[in-house]
Amino acid sequence: MLANHFPLDEKSISRLSTRGLPLEKLKEQINDSLDYSLELWRAQGLDIVKSKGYYYFGTKFLPLEKAEFCIVDIETNGSKIDKHQIIEIAGVKIKYGKITEEFESLVHCTEINSYISDITGITVEDTKDAPSLKSVLYEFKQFLGDAIFIAHDVKFDYRFISLSLEKIGLEPLLNRNLCSLALAERSLTSYRYGLSYLNDTFNLNPNPTHHRAMSDVITTYGLFKLSLESMNENVNNVEDLIKFSKTAPRKKRPKFDPFLEEKRLENLEKKEDSK
């Protein structure tokens, strides 16, 4: 995702998160001055720092306990950025394992088809007095800052928000990001990893309203905390965690859905009782 809007090649991006990038490699890939580029990237949510002559993502030196994460969820009226838009967005800031700030807003929209309304419960009427997409995204960008962006199946939310920012004339996101689904696959054993299924399995959110932004954010927050508690790896900083979420072996899934098995046993008991 970063490579889509970032002038550095994949190898250089990898080195920024691991052993560092030398000045000459950094300069040969940017058109503007280094100082200007560093400031621009910082405004887009990405901090790059110099240490012992090499450049790194600032998150390489950021311990998990001191990092600021932002768990995000959006609802849209379709999946195509050229035709559709965000209709609801929510986020919570996490630091020291606790929620420190919250952001939530519907977005004014003139077209939401019945299928989307059935899934989300959001109608055009609900959004008629909501602020514009431009207004909401300006506020959300300030709220997000340089926090690490977390979402369940992060590619969709991150890309849709980033492209939406471009549509209203702002720079795209460059925040470091983490997929809670990928992290869960490597830290928790489950038959499925959809957010609703994980909530049923681990009771992450006692009062969920699936496919509403803030409810899904709260569920993801519970999932993120549980994933961190369940990891056995030596993860010391944010870049270690991002790497773990992408490269650690996935947990072996059960062969059978435990919920279906539970129902099967209940049905057998009912049959026995009825004899």
User: So what's the pLDDT on residue 234?
Assistant: 87
Distance between CA atoms of residues 201 and 260, nearest Å: 12
Q: Is residue 108 part of a domain?
A: yes
Residue 53 makes CB contacts below 8 A (sequence gap 6+) with 22, 23
**pLDDT digit string (tens) for the chain, length 275 residues:** 664 678 999 999 999 999 999 999 999 999 889 999 999 999 999 999 999 999 999 999 999 999 999 999 999 999 999 999 999 999 999 999 999 999 999 999 999 999 999 999 999 999 999 999 999 999 999 999 999 999 999 999 999 999 999 999 999 999 999 999 999 999 999 999 999 999 999 999 999 999 999 999 999 999 999 999 999 888 999 999 999 999 999 999 999 998 887 766 666 565 566 65
User: So what's the pLDDT on residue 118?
Assistant: 97
Phi, psi (5° rounding) for residue 245?
Answer: -65, -20
Q: What is the span of the domain harbouring residue 200?
A: 64-247
Residue 164 sits in the same domain as residue 203: yes
Distance between CA atoms of residues 159 and 175, nearest Å: 11
Distance between CA atoms of residues 274 and 268, nearest Å: 10
Q: Is residue 259 part of a domain?
A: no
Residue 138 sits in the same domain as residue 235: yes
Residue 120 sits in the same domain as residue 20: no
User: So what's the pLDDT on residue 37?
Assistant: 95
Between the alpha carbon of residue 211 and those of residues 94, 107, 121, 204, 215, the distances in Å are 21, 15, 8, 15, 8
User: So what's the pLDDT on residue 2?
Assistant: 67
User: So what's the pLDDT on residue 48?
Assistant: 97
Domain count for the chain, please give it.
Answer: 2
Which of the 8 DSSP states describes residue 77? Answer: S
User: So what's the pLDDT on residue 206?
Assistant: 93
Phi, psi (5° rounding) for residue 70?
Answer: -125, 110
Residue 136 sits in the same domain as residue 164: yes
